[in-house]
Amino acid sequence: MIPFANTAYAQPVTSVRTARDTEYDVIARITQRLSGAIAGKDQDRTAFLDALFRNERLWSTLAADVADPGNGLPAALRAQLFYLYRFTADHSRKVRNGSASAEVLVEINRAVLRGLRGGGAT
């Protein structure tokens, strides 16, 4: 018997990750960081502003992706995601100047995460 024959067809150690899984993980990580930074913004404003910036960069990246004509998402969903980018960018400016709260940004991200997991529309 070939020594490795029993392991050659065994279950893989790591699962295959889809682009959707990776996207979910990135958004979840940024959302968690922003949520934590909101809670500690009075103690560490720099960390809060950094988390806010990373969230804006996420949405800027998503907007560029959905604006690409080759993007395979339905046009209506692409438009909604682009609108969320614009809202997020505008709202983030208001958060930085102190005229708005950042919690709505976390809620938007969580809604997108639910959509990615099939738990509701984005």
What pLDDT, in 10s, does the model give residues 76-118?
Answer: 999 999 999 999 999 999 999 999 999 999 999 999 999 999 8
pLDDT of the residue at 122: 43
Name the region of 120 (left: φ>0; alpha: ψ -120 to 50; beta: rest): left
- Cβ(54)–Cβ(84) under 8 Å? no
Backbone angles phi, psi at 109, to 5 degrees: -60, -40
Residue 4 has pLDDT above 90, yes or no: no
Dump pLDDT digits (tens) for 46-78: 999 999 999 999 999 999 999 999 999 999 999
- Cβ(106)–Cβ(35) under 8 Å? yes
Residue 38 has pLDDT above 60, yes or no: yes
Tokens read off for 8: 């050659």
- Listed by start position, the domains of the chain span 18-116
End-to-end CA distance of the chain: 54
Please name the fold of domain 18-116: Four Helix Bundle (Hemerythrin (Met), subunit A) (1.20.120)
Radius of gyration of the chain (CA): 19
Q: What is the mean pLDDT of residues 17-44?
A: 94
